[in-house]
Structure 1
Amino acid sequence: MVENTIRINERVRVNAENIAAALENHMLTAFAPDARKELRLFSAGEAAELLGISTSFLRKLHFENKIEDVQTSAGGRRYYSAHDLSQIRQHLDSVAKVPGTYLKGRREGDPVQVLSFLNFKGGSGKTTSTIHTAQRLALKGYKILCVDIDPQASLTTLFGYRPEVDFLETGTVYDAIRYDDPLPLSSIIQPTFFEGIDLAPAGLVLQEFEHETPRALMDNVQPPFFSRMAAALAEVEANYDLILFDCPPQLGYLTMGALCASTGLFITVVPNMLDVASMSQFLQMSADLLDVVSNAGAAMDYDFLRFLINRMEPNDGPQQQVVAFLRNLFGNEVMTNAMLKSTAISDAGLTHQTIYEVERSQFNRNTYDRAVDSLNSVNDEIESLIQAAWGR
């Protein structure tokens, strides 16, 4: 039997509408009743680790009434919200012998750290790395702005927004960097459920920047594309310690704008030779394009560049060989710690969550702990790079 002829544009539209409706229903089911996420509470052990103190010292602070009471279970276990952690951190620093021992964000004279996670191969873990880094460092007291410049808007979705509904035509980073009557970035920044993190959202309309830039270059519109992101950030950077870019999987004008606004780069790479070959092409293209924008006046000074190994399987021999190859080639530019491939991370993603959002009890404990330890090691290494850039 011959199928009825169907126009492809109509079929694609029907598919798009069906999946949009299904995703909205999934979001409403996962985060009912208001379709917005809430951050879980943290155990005393987790709280102490994030604060940089022992659990016994945390108990002592409660016993001596030096900090406010927190939510307690029927069995007497204490649970801490992100706001509780912030209040306790403020107290700890106020009585510390050395100010800044517990508040490790920017001090007077410290420039904002702008970090980009990039690679033009999809599936290299850019979004996963961005959001886990943002959340880990927010839990440790940093004030963070996440900037989603991927038109697919995966990072925006992970923060509980529905870009295909909430930001279909307006309210995205595009409004702040467009060539025709741009808006202040502050007008599109959204709060998130995660204390310490704000979001500059993405949506499909961001792709318009890629389409409009060639004409803007011909018309010599100022500031040029590579300066527009930095110019937009200048309005709000005083409000944050860190700004994190989640870049699209392509080396377009959006990515170049993020590169020119950044102080640190993380190139995510999965340790197999196909991904390494793709990264080689990415680096060659990046170098050529960065030469062009540098000659046009863009600032190209970075505090650090690191290769972040993603989806690492420690018992995979060929992967170990690829990692050794990269370390031999790039030396200490390859991060010491790698992000492990974990079913816990992928399973959390099924409900648009991260490993820092889900409860340990929902997973095999060994699997969960392995994933958390891996992520903590990576993100704490990133924190040490930030602190070194500030001269600490």
Structure 2
Amino acid sequence: MRQSKLLSAQLQVLRQQMYPPEAMKSMKTFTSREVASLLGVAESTLRQMSIDGEGVIPDRQDNGRRAYTLAQINELRVFLAHKRPGESLGFLPRRREGDKLQVIAVANFKGGSAKTTTTVHLAHYMALQGLRVLVLDLDPQASLSTMFGYQPEFDVDENETLYAALRYDEEERRPLREVIRKSYFEGVDIVPGNLELMEYEHETPQAIARGLSRGDGMFFRRLKSVISEVENDYDLVLIDSPPQLGYLTLGALYAATSLIITVHPAMLDVASMNQFLAMTSDLMSVIEDAGGSLDHDFIRYIITRHNPHDAPQVNVVALLRSLFGQDVLAAPVVDTTAIANAGLEKKSLYEIARGAVGRDTLNRALESVDAVNGEIFQLVKTVWGRT
């Protein structure tokens, strides 16, 4: 306990140094070139719109260049979607009436498979495309919350995690909307986590014994029921699952419309994933025997931390592709110092400033992550009936 308090205090000091003066993360601005790339228009079109006073008026930096916030980019999406109705889905790809809310669980109980990093990059990528994203931190270790700038023991009080919405105590349970927080990243909301989430693992067996886990209140249905409360507010829900197959993970698997399994291409990791798949299969059977219906739109494997020059890793990737075919995403996430350096500042590659790492290194890393996230986005759009 003494060492935990020492470390917590030092982490708080580091955060205050990293994000002065409020000790909270903030969102970067975007250049005209970056905005044009995100919107799929020419930079000259943006310049002319700014001159004509159309859309939004960006800020001017000291060097005279235009700087756009993500909120302004989203305003431009709406403006262009109305101005060019034939291209509206390209500018504003949010789900329309009749489109199913996409709930993607990122899972694997092997540590070091980059679950949290994958979730953060996917959330940021989808928000940059104009989607409304909710991320749920189901891991008591709360690494996802840390990446979003929350120090769990300081910033997340009692009954402020997802446990507050899932708990069996009717008097203490809160609506999900009350524990959702706006993040610093425009378009991304978060329900942070901390050690309190372990209470759900402890209480569920007792609730089952007392007959409290029935109907929609059954332990594996509770998360899906809770998400339905805010279904109209989001296009995509991302769940960072805990690294074990407990009641929270079962709830995530049942609530999910799709499943992403991260795998580091090393034999020990693959052997561990095999156990994860076997146990997951058994537990899904238990859910179905209890009346639960599991119908995922897609299940995909992401190769993470891949070194294409490492022969054993290349062989493992080849093995996975030969066994699982198209269920393995075509693009792997390469092992790069850019992601590690960004992680030191609790940032994704989409936040890191140019110059923080070598330009070529950052570009290669972004190309890799963009390719992976682009594949997932395409799968989501296919579910929504868009080709």
Partner of 2:227: 233
Partner of 1:134: 123
Task: Count matched residues.
Answer: 380
Rounded to whole Å, the distance in 2 between the matches of 1:299 and 1:357 is 39
Partner of 1:211: 202
In the alignment, structure 1 residue 18 sits paired with structure 2 residue 6:
yes
In structure 1, what residue type is equivalent to 2:204?
T
State the 1:97 CA deviation. Answer: 3.6
Runs of 4 or more, structure 1, over 6 Å off, are none
Unaligned runs of 5+ in 1: 1-12
Residue range with higher mean Cα deviation, 221-230 or 253-262: 221-230
1:45-86 deviation line (CA, Å, top 9, x unaligned) = 211121122323323333443232212223332221101101
Which of 94, 108, 111 does residue 119 from structure 1 map onto? 108
Asked if 2 retains the 8 angstrom alpha-carbon contact of 1:143 and 1:196, the reply is yes
TM-score (norm 2): 0.96
State the 1:203 CA deviation. Answer: 0.9
Asked if 1 retains the 8 angstrom alpha-carbon contact of 2:132 and 2:236, the reply is yes
In the alignment, structure 1 residue 179 sits paired with structure 2 residue 168:
yes
Rounded to whole Å, the distance in 1 between the matches of 2:299 and 2:344 is 31
Rounded to whole Å, the distance in 2 between the matches of 1:236 and 1:28 is 33
Which of 242, 250, 261 does residue 248 from structure 1 map onto? 242
1:168-210 deviation line (CA, Å, top 9, x unaligned) = 4221100000111221101111111000011011110001111
Rounded to whole Å, the distance in 2 between the matches of 1:103 and 1:323 is 35
In the alignment, structure 1 residue 153 sits paired with structure 2 residue 177:
no
Asked if 2 retains the 8 angstrom alpha-carbon contact of 1:150 and 1:203, the reply is yes
TM-score (norm 1): 0.95
CA distance change for structure 1 residues 82 and 333 in 2, over 3 Å: closer, same or farther? same
Pairing 1:40-59 to 2, within 5 Å after superposition: 40-59=28-47
Partner of 1:6: none
Query: What is the RMSD computed on CA atoms of the aligned residues?
Result: 1.2
State the 1:293 CA deviation. Answer: 0.6
Rounded to whole Å, the distance in 1 between the matches of 2:266 and 2:90 is 40
In structure 2, what residue type is equivalent to 1:305?
I
In structure 2, what residue type is equivalent to 1:345?
I
In the alignment, structure 1 residue 264 sits paired with structure 2 residue 258:
yes
Instruction: Give the match's secondary structure for 1:305.
Output: strand
Rounded to whole Å, the distance in 2 between the matches of 1:23 and 1:267 is 30
Asked if 2 retains the 8 angstrom alpha-carbon contact of 1:168 and 1:205, the reply is no
Instruction: Give the match's secondary structure for 1:360.
Output: coil
Rounded to whole Å, the distance in 1 between the matches of 2:293 and 2:16 is 44
Residue range with higher mean Cα deviation, 281-290 or 44-53: 44-53
Pairing 1:59-98 to 2, within 5 Å after superposition: 59-98=47-86
Which of 80, 93, 109 does residue 104 from structure 1 map onto? 93
Partner of 1:31: 19
In the alignment, structure 1 residue 332 sits paired with structure 2 residue 323:
no
Rounded to whole Å, the distance in 1 between the matches of 2:288 and 2:48 is 55
In structure 1, what residue type is equivalent to 2:16?
L
State the 1:251 CA deviation. Answer: 1.0
Partner of 1:9: none
Asked if 2 retains the 8 angstrom alpha-carbon contact of 1:168 and 1:204, the reply is no
Instruction: Give the match's secondary structure for 1:109.
Output: coil
Instruction: Give the match's secondary structure for 1:147.
Output: strand
Asked if 2 retains the 8 angstrom alpha-carbon contact of 1:270 and 1:312, the reply is yes
Instruction: Give the match's secondary structure for 1:267.
Output: strand
Rounded to whole Å, the distance in 1 between the matches of 2:355 and 2:59 is 19
Rounded to whole Å, the distance in 2 between the matches of 1:62 and 1:225 is 53
Partner of 1:3: none
Which of 349, 372, 378 does residue 355 from structure 1 map onto? 349
Rounded to whole Å, the distance in 1 between the matches of 2:167 and 2:25 is 30
In structure 1, what residue type is equivalent to 2:106?
F
State the 1:342 CA deviation. Answer: 1.2
Asked if 2 retains the 8 angstrom alpha-carbon contact of 1:148 and 1:246, the reply is yes
Partner of 2:189: 198
Asked if 2 retains the 8 angstrom alpha-carbon contact of 1:138 and 1:144, the reply is yes
1:88-136 deviation line (CA, Å, top 9, x unaligned) = 1111101114232311011011110000101000110110000110001
Rounded to whole Å, the distance in 2 between the matches of 1:261 and 1:87 is 32
Rounded to whole Å, the distance in 2 between the matches of 1:216 and 1:67 is 54
Instruction: Give the match's secondary structure for 2:189.
Output: strand
Partner of 2:308: 314
Unaligned runs of 5+ in 2: none
Asked if 1 retains the 8 angstrom alpha-carbon contact of 2:50 and 2:58, the reply is no
Residue range with higher mean Cα deviation, 43-52 or 71-80: 71-80
Instruction: Give the match's secondary structure for 1:361.
Output: coil
Instruction: Give the match's secondary structure for 1:259.
Output: helix
Rounded to whole Å, the distance in 2 between the matches of 1:31 and 1:75 is 24
Instruction: Give the match's secondary structure for 1:362.
Output: coil
Rounded to whole Å, the distance in 2 between the matches of 1:202 and 1:73 is 37
